[in-house]
């Protein structure tokens, strides 16, 4: 069984197989030299310590700047290694975390547009909207003319993460199915 390196995003953890983690470390060291990035060096050292088994604790990825450094390596590496499920899961966690560094309501609206579930795409009767409920909570809601009525209340991060998994142009029915009560 392959060894893994675990990254802690606060609400979720993701792991990489040690062979992929070694490639990430190598590229972070190259980035350290080429971009003169001290932060890339720190992230590389943290991963290498897990590969060397000097520590088994998950690597905290709570700082935006560290996530950005790891993203610079993982995003292109994912294209080079299609089918690496561990890398795909880490990529999704990084993408969600990076998106949440911005206004989550606007990001959710952008995902609804991408999916084709917004008012401009499908009209007011079939559109799925978003309402900010403060403190990180949101409500996805359909038109009052929709039968059956649709409302889904939850954390913005969860809504965004689930919307990111839906295909482009799939329409409001896919959103309704994903958030079916």
Q: What is residue 147's predicted lDDT score, i.e. its pLDDT?
A: 66
Are residues 164 and 154 in contact, defined by beta-carbon separation less than 8 angstroms?
A: no
Give 102: exposed, middle or buried? Use CB within 10 Å, 0-12, 13-18, 19+.
exposed
Distance of CA 43 to the CA centre of its chain: 19
* Residue 146 in this model has a pLDDT that exceeds 80: no
Element (H, E) at 108: helix 104-115
Which of 17-26, 71-80, 88-97 is the least confident region?
88-97
- For the chain, domain boundaries: 4-100, 104-178
The side-by-side arrangement of strands in the sheet containing 13-17 is 13-17, 4-8, 59-60
Mean pLDDT for 126-139 is 90
Q: What is residue 1's predicted lDDT score, i.e. its pLDDT?
A: 45
Q: Please state, for a pLDDT cut of 70, what percent of the chain lies above it.
A: 97
Q: What is residue 67's predicted lDDT score, i.e. its pLDDT?
A: 87
* Residue 149 in this model has a pLDDT that exceeds 90: no
Q: Please state, for a pLDDT cut of 90, what percent of the chain lies above it.
A: 38
Mean pLDDT for 79-104 is 83
pTM above threshold 0.75: no
Question: Which is higher by pLDDT, 110 or 174?
Answer: 174
pLDDT-based confidence at 68, cuts 50/70/90?
Answer: confident
Q: Chain-wide mean pLDDT for the chain? A: 87
């Amino acid at each position: 069984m392959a060894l893994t390196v675990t990254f802690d995003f606060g609400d979720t953890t993701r792991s990489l197989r040690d062979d992929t983690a070694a490639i990430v470390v190598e590229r972070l060291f190259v980035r350290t030299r080429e971009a003169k990035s001290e932060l890339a060096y720190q992230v590389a050292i943290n991963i290498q310590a897990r590969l060397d088994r000097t520590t088994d604790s998950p690597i905290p990825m709570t700082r935006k700047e560290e996530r950005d450094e790891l993203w610079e390596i993982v995003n292109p590496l994912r294209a080079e290694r299609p089918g690496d499920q561990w890398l795909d899961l880490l990529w999704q966690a990084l993408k969600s975390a990076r998106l949440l560094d911005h206004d989550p309501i606007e990001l959710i609206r952008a995902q609804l547009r991408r999916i084709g579930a917004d008012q401009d795409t499908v009209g007011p009767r079939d559109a799925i909207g978003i309402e900010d409920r403060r403190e990180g909570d949101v409500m996805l809601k359909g038109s009052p003319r929709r039968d059956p009525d649709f409302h889904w209340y939850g954390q913005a991060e969860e809504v965004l993460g689930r919307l990111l998994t839906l295909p482009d142009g799939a329409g409001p029915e896919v959103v309704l199915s994903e958030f079916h009560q």
